[in-house]
Structure 1
Amino acid sequence: MAENRKIRKVFKSKPTIEGAGVHLRRVFGNSEVPLFDPFLLLDDFRNTDPRRYIKGFPWHPHRGIETITYVLRGDVEHGDSMGNKGVITSGDMQWMTAGSGIIHQEMPRGDDDGAMEGFQLWANLPKLHKMMDPRYRDIKSTQVPEVVTKSGARVKVICGVVEGKQGPVTDIVIDPEYLDVTVPAMSEFVHKTRRGHTVLAYVISGNGVFCNEKNPFAYDAEGVNYFDMERDPYIHNGTAVLFGDGDQVTVSAQDKPVRFLLISGKPIGEPVAWYGPIVMNTEEELQTAFEEYRDGTFIKYGRRSS
């Protein structure tokens, strides 16, 4: 019999400022290492005021990780040291493997109403792949299959397989899944997960009951109890659930739909040395990376776009 995963911990996203002044909400980050291994960071950059995001993320380096940007609404302009340029818009995603080193910029532009909605996830790379050649994947919304389950849940399959439909992102080191799931009111969604993999969900609309747990305790990013869910059994918009191990995840919607990102990956289990946009295994490797960035030898593959 399949074992349901249980809630291990719940995290409420918290406001922070990154880049050149982008106001966003951080779901988890440096202080949660290695809790979410192989994932390092999840940011929610939904905003309706262009002044709070328009300065974006100008040219900056990455090494040793992958950055995954998913846009729900608005436009994000992209450029990188391999010469890639373009715009991802509503429903699009970019999966960028920094590997040995890439310099890029991401500039949110919003839509005609000034709204900008999206998320950025950082995934770690194991030591064996830290210095792999960088690569950039631009995934259009039209490439993403959508599955409607027997219970009526709608699942956009970005990475992974749902009911025989495979997402367009494949050949990723950490063997991830990335699903955008909407469960209609008074319905239940059950999804099989791989034993030993880290699995998390981030609610982006509505609220739901996860793992059939009516009174879990929720924690903020520092692990401090911020409310007792005995009086409120729902996981709400802007809240992440980290699951314990098991064979499947169960999510129920009550009087209104719930939409969430369901993300999983194989843990790496290696030391993490992390400063700013670079994540390596040792402090010496970090120092080398920043020295190379300063002296102009950081890029090992490709060229910086003009």
Structure 2
Amino acid sequence: MSIATESARILRTVRGQPTSDGAGVKLTRVIGTAQLPDLDPFLMLDEFGTDKAEDYIAGFPEHPHRGFETVTYMLDGRMRHRDNHGNEGLLTPGSVQWMTAGRGLVHSEMPEQESGRMRGFQLWVNLPAKDKLCAPKYQEFAPDSIPVATPARGVEIKVIAGAVGEVVGPIVQPATDPLYLDIRLEPGASWDTTLPTGHNVFAYAYEGAVTVGEGDDARPLDTQVLAVLGGGEALSLRAGTKGAQLILVAGRPLREPVMRHGPFVMNTKQELMQAFVDFQEGRF
């Protein structure tokens, strides 16, 4: 890892917008809004979190995907996944599913609980043109398969993708070379790290507040606010008096044209129209 000389800072902040998806599941959309339509290669980020069963019980019945990947990270609750290729799995607290839709599948994500808290994130990651019609596949990991790094006092990091020191996450995707960390900072704790060169990076605080950057560039990041980071590779994080928990995500930009509508993400209008035809004719 090269030594970074310039400090990363917050370039802009975005607060999520309340919305609903699936069969009426209430959630907060953070990427994929008018304020931040995308952050190449990231197409969408949703946070879902509620104690009210009526907000999530209807779930996400069968729906198609083509041309990108969905990453589901569960914090609380249980979600049953099924698709039309015979795949099935149960997402439990702390588990991760990285689904490559590729050339197409039809799947459902339904809560396997009738009460209690349901909380987590779903991130959409674009695929390069050469991989958009690849065979669908899954990378699914139970909570005990996600390694934990403790790089500094009061700092605990679940490494979902990428690496923290010698601790390497289980997710592999050569096209975008992702970093996906769930970082917990105790009150007043701090952590300095180096971001991947050339990647687009965001941080999203979902508990407490954290200061990002150093010196004159240091800025606070409040709960349920996303920060687009840039300006350098040396990242400094420092928790406030109540501690903080945040996800830090980075990916290599694809820099390709994006043509998207609903659950299909392609490169051209013709490819997008073909996706609808293939779905309607049962080719998924």
Does the TM-score normalized on the shorter chain lie above 0.5?
yes
Distance, in Å, in 2 between the alignment partners of 1:70 and 1:90 is 8
Distance, in Å, in 2 between the alignment partners of 1:56 and 1:34 is 24
Residue 29, structure 1, aligned to residue 15, structure 2: no
Distance, in Å, in 2 between the alignment partners of 1:26 and 1:192 is 28
* 1:198 partner amino acid: N
* 1:39 partner amino acid: F
Residue 184, structure 1, aligned to residue 170, structure 2: no
2:256 maps to what in 1? 270
Contact 1:197–1:245 (Cα < 8 Å) also in 2: no
2:92 maps to what in 1? 89
1:222 maps to what in 2? none
1:59 maps to what in 2? 62
Cα distance, 1:175–1:81 mapped onto 2, change above 3 Å: same
Distance, in Å, in 1 between the alignment partners of 2:90 and 2:174 is 23
1:161 maps to what in 2? 163
1:120 maps to what in 2? 122
Alignment of 1:1-306 (within 5 A): 2-29=5-32, 31=34, 35-110=38-113, 113-212=115-214, 234-297=220-283, 299=284
Aligned length: 281
* 1:287 partner amino acid: M
Distance, in Å, in 2 between the alignment partners of 1:213 and 1:34 is 30
Q: Which moved more, 1:71-80 or 1:162-171?
A: 162-171
Contact 2:97–2:141 (Cα < 8 Å) also in 1: yes
**TM-score in terms of structure 2 length:** 0.94
Q: Deviations over 1:10-67 (max 9, x none)?
A: 0101100111101100011054677510000000011111101111111111000000
CA drift of 1:248 comes to 2.3
The DSSP-based 3-state class of the residue aligned with 1:128 is helix
RMSD of the alignment, in Å? 1.8
Gaps of 5+ in 2: none
Distance, in Å, in 1 between the alignment partners of 2:35 and 2:41 is 11
CA drift of 1:95 comes to 0.5
Q: Which runs of 4+ in 1 moved over 6 A?
A: 213-216
Distance, in Å, in 2 between the alignment partners of 1:81 and 1:290 is 17
The DSSP-based 3-state class of the residue aligned with 1:55 is coil
Gaps of 5+ in 1: 217-232, 300-306
| Greater percentage in strand | 2
Q: Deviations over 1:243-300 (max 9, x none)?
A: 1142122111121211100000000001110100110011111111001111112x2x
Distance, in Å, in 2 between the alignment partners of 1:72 and 1:89 is 8
